[in-house]
Structure 1
Amino acid sequence: MRTTVSGRRNNSRRVAAAVLTAALAGGAVLMSAPGASAAAPPVMKLKLNTPAVIGGAGQSVEFTETITNVTSRKATYELGLQAITGLGLPRDPGVVIDYRDPASGRWKPVRLSVAEGADDVAFSGEVPRSFEVQAHSSLTVRLRIGLPMGWPHNGASNGGTSSLTLRAVVETGDKRVTSGNVFRSAEVTKTIKVQGLSPSLSRVPATAVAGGAPIEFDAVLKNPTPSNYVNLANTLWVDPHATVQVRKPNGTWTTLKKVPTGIPGEKPGVYLQGRDSSLRANSTTTVRVRVSYDASTPLGATDIGRCVFVNEGPTTPFRGTTMCAKGATVQVVAPGGKGTKGTKGTKAQPPAKTAPAGKGASAGK
């Protein structure tokens, strides 16, 4: 689903609301019937059951919207949706909304137009079908929403938003009537938080011996959101003299290829689980890592960095929606020097703190 971007507006909410209203009315201006009372009871009720959180750059999350017809006859409803976010999202696509077609059982996209304001961006559209609800009955519409942060394998390098406001509007009326008709509507607005993945390092030894035994620790990746994640590049940054191995499920160790960033002076990276791993909603994956430093490694402090990239580009490594954590510092010492007993007896560091979720932290390599 591709969105189209309109010109910049000083008040995106007002512009997007006008676009949404026009779409719901089929291009006509909605007007009250002569003598209609502002206190007239609504002909419908609307309940929006949105998720409390979704994952930035993650897969869409399903939710429901319930339309209740409180009249004594069946009615046909139109459903419009509008998501208002911060300015940090890409426009194509920044927000995706799908609906479950009850006739076919398939998910279909809601086409969204984009109105940019000085402080936010509004993505607005209408579900491309009507919903018939019997008298004094309710109908549940299945929807899903996501913030993909760009197309697969072409994600944004930075940016994001900490929340989005989802506005749902239903309207009804016999559109064959050209006068004396009232299109009555119900409207609900909910705020959805946006979080990201939380990479960290756990129990990294404080020292390592140049040319000596490897150190071992855990690289942890936590997904605290209801979004599944795909196209993940779970990454460590290491000294060029380091050799990195990960333990496989059968207990053996495999050596990882160091990948240069292409930027002079930056440490190479290693993919702990390949360039296209995945992580299910509300789950954590832990990779056991072993790092050794050859005899030519300069003595002193060296850093191990920690990041994860979503939808990394097809040609340039380590460029995608970026979430990083504070790394760890290891003192490389000479053989026979202080603190040369390997991983046993060395002082372990606590798990590293992660960058603020949903902020799209820059890679701290």
Structure 2
Amino acid sequence: MSVTTRTHRPRRTLTRAATLGVVLAGGTLLLPAPAAVAEVAPQAKLTVQAPASVGFAGQPVEFTETISNPTAETAGYHLHLDTTSGPGTPSDAIVIDYKDPADGAWKSVPLEFTTDGTAHYGGMLPSDITVPAGGSTTLKLRIGAPMGRPHHGAGNGGLDSIDLRSAVSAADGSHVTLDQSTRTIGVESISTSLARVPATAVAGGAPIEFDAVLANPTPSDYVNVGNVLFVDPHATVQVRRTDGSWSKLAQVLPSEPGGRPGVYLEGRDSSIRTRTTTTTRVRVSFDATTPAGDIELSPCVFVNEVEDRPFLGTTMCVRGATVKVTAAAATQSPVPAPSATAPTTAAPSAAAPTAPSSAAPATATRPPSEAPAASDGQLAETGAGRAPALLAAGASLLTAGGGALWLARRRRSA
């Protein structure tokens, strides 16, 4: 049930003299004393310490709200919480929790979703809040933008910020607002990037090595994360473990036919804590049957993937790197053996000097499992049987490692 409030203004009590004046015996007019104005003391004060930002598709972030009671009697209050976000935000994109003082457990604030061009979520803490006379009570809350339930895929649209409105009223059912506060909460995102990717590789030759970087600059923890690198079917991908050994990763085919396979660099349901960065050393080799030409290495992050459909979740991708694969050494012209009398010289290296992938101009890419994305400013179709769109309208453009990070929001079809 959405909450309707009316602003309560302090009442002013005006006391006036009973007469306009008294004529004294000498004919002098005695004017009354100036009118006395008495202000009614406020019945409650609300102080909100809202977070500056939350992580898109991340876990809720804690904050506090304090209700002060300046009156001489213990009073009960209600706390109403309403949020407003941009158009296209799905009905399960935002959550607000409170810590129940009775048992210390986190519980959800029931929110009702409405929309009239913008998305609104409104609700009230289910319990009355008792504040002693002349004292205050601090409530522990948390707010997040998880974009749906765990393993539920993602929702169409997204949000760049959340307007949180908090209002306190008396617990007598009057619903008259005694005090209120509005705070704007930013929405940030995790990012993925590739660093120091070699420009060339040889089919059937030595592997190339580079770093895959997953960064979480947000105040939210992230769970159910899939840090994915899309590769060519002819590629073998290994990651270096903490003990220095190399582990081969299994290729996973997308749920949509015709897409390139991907590998999970840290596992399908990994996690990353707030304000941390994870760097994974990656080694990729191409077998001798790999056709010569350019091959894309495309990194994407998926959150809350549907359990039985790989690569279907809240999607954050960045432009990867292009590697030029040359023909296998057996198909190239042999190098003449050096003369017995002539001085020997070293053969040129097959690999070109490495260069960071961020040196390339930033453009948006789509996961290899997708159909061609819609043009800029248009939202491509999503749902079962169709590829997810990464160039979604209203998606936030974030900078990550020199690449432009595009956020895509999708919903699983009914």
> Could you say whether these structures have the same fold, taking a TM-score greater than 0.5 normalized by the shorter chain as the test?
yes
- The answer to whether residue 278 in structure 2 is matched with residue 276 in structure 1 is no
Q: Distance in 2 between matches of 1:168 and 1:149?
A: 22
The residue number in structure 2 matching 1:361 is: 408
Shift of residue 299, structure 1, vs aligned partner: 1.1
Shift of residue 157, structure 1, vs aligned partner: 5.6
| Cα displacement string for residues 32-86 of structure 1 (whole angstroms, at most 9, x for unaligned residues) | 9998899744222111111111011111111000111122222211101001112
- The answer to whether residue 308 in structure 2 is matched with residue 315 in structure 1 is yes
- The answer to whether residue 100 in structure 2 is matched with residue 59 in structure 1 is no
| Cα displacement string for residues 113-136 of structure 1 (whole angstroms, at most 9, x for unaligned residues) | 111112x11010000111111222
Q: Normalising by structure 1, report the TM-score.
A: 0.83
Q: Distance in 2 between matches of 1:264 and 1:290?
A: 27
What's the C-alpha RMSD, in Å, of the aligned pairs? 2.9
- Give the greater-gyration-radius structure (CA): 2
Give the one of 189, 210, 222 matched to 1:229. Answer: 222
The residue number in structure 1 matching 2:358 is: 350
Question: 1:216-255 counterparts in 2 under 5 A?
Answer: 216-255=209-248
| Cα displacement string for residues 253-287 of structure 1 (whole angstroms, at most 9, x for unaligned residues) | 11111112244442211111111000011111111
The residue number in structure 2 matching 1:330 is: 323
> Which amino acid is 1:128 matched to?
P
- The answer to whether residue 165 in structure 2 is matched with residue 133 in structure 1 is no
Shift of residue 182, structure 1, vs aligned partner: 9.5
Q: Distance in 1 between matches of 2:355 and 2:192?
A: 21
Distance 1:127 1:351, change over 3 A: farther
Any conservation in 1 of the 2:148–2:155 contact (CA below 8 Å)? no
Question: 1:37-56 counterparts in 2 under 5 A?
Answer: 40-56=40-56
Q: Which segments of 5 or more consecutive residues in structure 2 lack a partner in the other structure?
A: 15-37, 334-346, 365-395, 399-404
Q: Distance in 2 between matches of 1:152 and 1:351?
A: 36
Any conservation in 1 of the 2:317–2:406 contact (CA below 8 Å)? no
The residue number in structure 1 matching 2:68 is: 68
Distance 1:73 1:213, change over 3 A: same
Shift of residue 342, structure 1, vs aligned partner: 4.3
Shift of residue 111, structure 1, vs aligned partner: 0.6
Partner of 1:350: helix, strand, or coil? helix
Any conservation in 2 of the 1:168–1:189 contact (CA below 8 Å)? yes
Distance 1:106 1:212, change over 3 A: same
Q: Normalising by structure 2, report the TM-score.
A: 0.73
> Which amino acid is 1:296 matched to?
T
Shift of residue 325, structure 1, vs aligned partner: 0.7
Q: Which fold has the larger relative contact order, with Cα–Cα distance below 8 Å and residues 6 or more apart in sequence?
A: 1
Any conservation in 2 of the 1:308–1:323 contact (CA below 8 Å)? yes
Q: Which segments of 5 or more consecutive residues in structure 1 lack a partner in the other structure?
A: 1-15, 23-28, 176-180
Distance 1:132 1:157, change over 3 A: closer
Distance 1:339 1:324, change over 3 A: farther
Identity %: 49
Distance 1:339 1:310, change over 3 A: farther
| Cα displacement string for residues 211-259 of structure 1 (whole angstroms, at most 9, x for unaligned residues) | 1100001111111111111111110011111111111111111111111
Q: Distance in 1 between matches of 2:131 and 2:246?
A: 60
The residue number in structure 1 matching 2:146 is: 148
The residue number in structure 2 matching 1:10 is: none
Question: 1:186-201 counterparts in 2 under 5 A?
Answer: 186-201=179-194
The residue number in structure 1 matching 2:341 is: none
The residue number in structure 2 matching 1:103 is: 102
Q: Distance in 2 between matches of 1:158 and 1:208?
A: 39
Distance 1:340 1:348, change over 3 A: farther
| Cα displacement string for residues 330-362 of structure 1 (whole angstroms, at most 9, x for unaligned residues) | 11123379984448x433433786872496337
Question: 316-325 or 258-267: which moved more?
Answer: 258-267
